[in-house]
Amino acid sequence: MRFKLSLLTLALIVFSAISAQDTAQFSKTCSISSGLGYANGVGGSKGGTSFFIQMDYQFSPQFSLATEFEHLNFDAPGYYPDSIISTNVQHFYDHYFSLLIKYHLPLNSKFHASLASGWTYLIRQTDYYDVYTEPTGQLITHRMSSFNDFGIPFLLETDYPVWKNLSVGVRVKYNFNPGYGDTYSAGVGVSLKL
C-alpha cells in the first residue's frame, strides 16, 4: 500500500509540473475515440475480436491523460482433450478499465503517434464445461466464472486527420497481467476532437 501511495504522489507531482509549464501557443483539447480490432491471449490461445472506447484530455503539447474501456474476446484450449464435448475450448471475455498517461511523440507532420502506460483493472469471465469421470460415465457441467485483477497496459497508437476534427489511426496494446496471463490487441479506430 505504501508503494502505491508513493507512486500516486510521484504521478501527482509530475502532473503538476507539466501542467504548470507555459502553454501560450497550445490549445488544450479533448477527444473521444473508438474502434475495432483483433485480440488474443499470450500462450496458445486462438484470437478473437476487440472493441475500445477512449476519452482523452491533452493538457500539454507532449502529454495527455486518458481513460479507456476495452473488451477482448478470445479462446484457449480446454482442460479435457478426451471429453465427449465436440469443442474442447475455453471462451474468455476480458473487460479492461484503464487510466493512461500518454506521451505524444514530437513529429513535424499531420501524422501523430503516442505511447501510453498506466494502470488497468481487469474483469475476466470464462465459459467452459467441467467434465467429471465416474464409474458409470462422464458428468458434464457448464461453468461460467468471473474474477478480477490489476495490471499494467502498454499502448502505441497513431492518428491522421482526414476531415476537420475527425482522424483515423491504428493501435497496438499489450496488457501485462502477472496473475492471470497477458493479452494483446491491435486494431483501427476513429477519433473526434470535441
In-domain check, residue 21: no
In-domain check, residue 14: no
In-domain check, residue 12: no
What's 77's domain CATH number?
2.40.160.20
- Nearest partner of 127 among 144, 141, 140, judged by Cα: 144
In-domain check, residue 32: yes
- Are 168 and 159 in contact, with CB atoms under 8 Å apart? yes
In-domain check, residue 23: no
Q: What pTM was estimated for this model as a whole?
A: 0.78
* Residue-range definition of the domain harbouring residue 153: 28-193
Give the number of domains in the chain: 1
pLDDT tens-digit readout, 111-162: 999 999 999 999 999 988 777 777 777 777 778 889 899 999 999 999 999 9
The torsion angle over the Cα atoms of residues 151, 152, 153 and 154, rounded to 10 degrees, is: -150
pLDDT tens-digit readout, 10-27: 555 555 544 444 444 567
